[in-house]
Amino acid sequence: MKSICSADHIIGYKESKIAQSEHNDCVVRAIASTFGFEYNVAHKFVANEFGRKPGKGTFGTMAKLRNLNGILGKNYGILTKEAITYPGSIRHQNKGGKPVPITTSMFLEKFPKGRFLVIVRGHAFSIIDGVVVGNVDDGKRLRAKIIFAIKVEE
């Protein structure tokens, strides 16, 4: 499984004074890398559309993504609940358990091609053609459960 630090993937990240002073900007970086935008463009978009304050996290990301009709002229589709869940173990099913979210490693197997923005509990990152693009450790968090995902329409 391959992963890339978003700082090495995002256009203009290393030159951006805004990026160098930011913290808790995973949604900004995920949008920039998933959609191929410059960091500063994604930063301004998330501040305007999501109400993100500098240095603070982005809250209500899933709800905002459900209500937008695209991001700066690029369309995307929301993956269905069925696409990002599985029935669970036989034991889980026998006890009448509900479907459970798939993990990052399951997502990589199920969706080897495409540009995705994925959300796990409290964090967002990109998966582009089977490569995790995010924080250095995101590629190691293969057991993290995907709770929401969008796919860029190309």
Judge whether 143 and 136 are in contact, CB under 8 Å. no
Structure token pair of residue 80: 């269905």
* pLDDT of 124: 97
* pLDDT of 136: 87
Q: What is the pTM of this model?
A: 0.92
Distance CA 118, CA 107 (A): 10
Mean pLDDT score of the chain: 94
Structure token pair of residue 30: 């995920």
* pLDDT of 97: 85
* pLDDT of 141: 85
* pLDDT of 114: 97
3-state class (DSSP) for residue 139: helix
Report residues of the chain scoring pLDDT below 50.
Answer: none
* pLDDT of 154: 80
* pLDDT of 89: 82
* pLDDT of 95: 85
